[in-house]
Structure formats: structure tokens, C-alpha cells
Amino acid sequence: MSNDNKPPLTGGSPHGTTELVTFSECPQKHGFKYGLKFESIHRPDSADSRDTGTLVHVGLANFYGAQIKPVPLWVEDPYLAVVKQAQSSGWMHLLKSSVETVREYIKVRSAKPVFGPIVAVEDPCETYIATSDGKTHIITTRLDLVAYYRGSLCSINHKTSVRLSYAEPDRAATTRLQFMLELVLARTKYSNVKWVLVNPVQTSRNREGPKIGDPKIVDISPHAFSRLGRDISFYKAMISAVQSAYPNPLDRPRSYQCMSRYGLCEFHPLCSQGYEALSQYKRVA
């Protein structure tokens, strides 16, 4: 983020990496989220986990923002920033676990710093990717942290989700797609970015306290990176095909669990053997 008086922003983008990843996880979920603008109420615990993650991101943004020289004007005390975000978003019931997580993170990373110097925090970036079908697609994201790790500049992704934090990040096809897109975007703004890192920050759950894991380098092969344009073209074509074949998102195939367990297959947009029914939604105002 630039050195101005704007606070770190959170949230997705209609052209962001999340849309492609959502479709690759589940065409029906994609239809609800991006077609009907619905939000799931099927798993309220998942919503709490997501919102807690947002609060933790706010705390970490201010923790690392204070390490940029000169310090950006938006930086404030990390705990105060979390409280303000919780109050403004109506998430006060998540405040305790979020503050505990941020406090544990700052304790661990202050005792043994692993990132530095810090280059940018919550940094928006975009790029245009030309695909083999002759189309150009805008892809946007917000980089959680750009900093040096073991002497190399990296894009660092804070992950509070257990599934993404502690699983091998380079084994899940959908996760790999997300990180390849992030690497492209990071290199658009910082040409010398070498890796994408997962920074595991498991929030406290029930009686378990927060857990701060070691950074994990996402292993992206040059071959996979070079075919990214073709993969994006494939996803965009499949999104159009599914939208045409299933105008009503209720009828679209589900494949979330299949994808998370087994990765991509050639037929996943037509697969109706998903294990998770995404049927309870509310419209987002």
C-alpha cells in the first residue's frame, strides 16, 4: 500500500483471483456468489471463520505497516485497529479470539522475525492476461505482504484457514491456481519477486489457542507458470459454457469436495457428484 492516509482495504474484486478459484471449486457456488450475488448461510461457523480472518488481517497489516519506512499515515496500534474493524462490521463477538491471535502472532514474530525488510502491506495490483482465444482478461488482487524472506523478495499470503494453512499448499489444484495468479500479479508490480509464501496463522478455536506456523514456499513449476494463460482461457470458457447450459444456478453442478480432495479433472464443470449441498443462501444487499 502506498504511503498515504488510506487504511488497509479488505474484500474481493469482480475481476479477482477469487472468482476463478471459486469456479474451480464449485460451479454452483460460483453462480450463487457472482451470478445471483447471494451469500451462504449454510455454514455460519464458516462465516465467523472468514470474518475472524479479516480482523486478523487488519491487525497484521498494522503490525507490518509500522515497519515500513517512512511509516504510512494509516498505521495505528494493531489491537486498536482490530477493535475498530470489529465495531464497524458488527463482529464484536469475534473480537476476543481475533485479538488473541494477533497478540500471539506479534509475540512469535517479534521474538523471531522472519520477514524483512518490509516493502508493502495490503498492496492492490492488477494485470491484463492475453489468452489463446484472443481475449484479454483483467485480473486483480491485494497482496497481504510484500517483504524479503531469506534474502529474496516474496509475496506473502496470510492464511487463517486451517485447510489452506496447514495442508501442503502446492498439492491442491485450486489453491495452486490462486497462488500462480498471485505470483503473476506480484511480478507485475515487483519484477524481482521470487516466491509466493503461505504464512499460516491459525486462529484460536474453542479451547485451543492460536497457532503460528512456519512460512511455506509454494512450489510453482516453470511449466505450470508458463501455461497460466491457457488455464485462464479454459476457466473463462467453462464459466461461459456452464452459464449457458445452466442458466439457473440452482441447477448447476456441485463439485467442491471432489475438487478439494482430488484436484482438477477434465469433466469437473459437468460433474454433479459433489458432496456438499450449497442450497441455503441469502441475497447480499
Say whether pLDDT at 81 is over 50. yes
Instruction: List CB contacts of 144: < 8 A, sequence separation 6 or more.
Output: 57, 60, 61, 121, 122, 155, 156, 157, 158, 199
User: What's the pLDDT score for residue 255?
Assistant: 58
Strands (DSSP E) contained in 72-183 are: 118-130, 136-149, 152-159
Percent above pLDDT 70 for the chain:
67
Say whether pLDDT at 105 is over 90. yes
Average pLDDT, the chain: 75
Lowest mean pLDDT among 38-52, 76-90, 216-230: 38-52
Q: What is the pLDDT of residues 135-191, one digit of tens each?
A: 777 888 889 999 999 999 999 999 886 554 334 443 445 566 778 888 888 998 999
Closest CA to 79 of 107, 49, 113: 107
Q: Give CB contacts under 8 A, 24+ apart, made by 128-131.
A: 129/184, 129/228, 129/229, 129/232, 130/229, 131/229, 131/230, 131/232, 131/233, 131/236
In 10 A of CB 38, how many CB atoms?
Answer: 18
Say whether pLDDT at 126 is over 50. yes
Q: Using alpha carbons only, give the angle 3, 193, 12 rounded to the nearest 5 degrees.
A: 60
Residue 196: pLDDT band (50, 70, 90) is very high
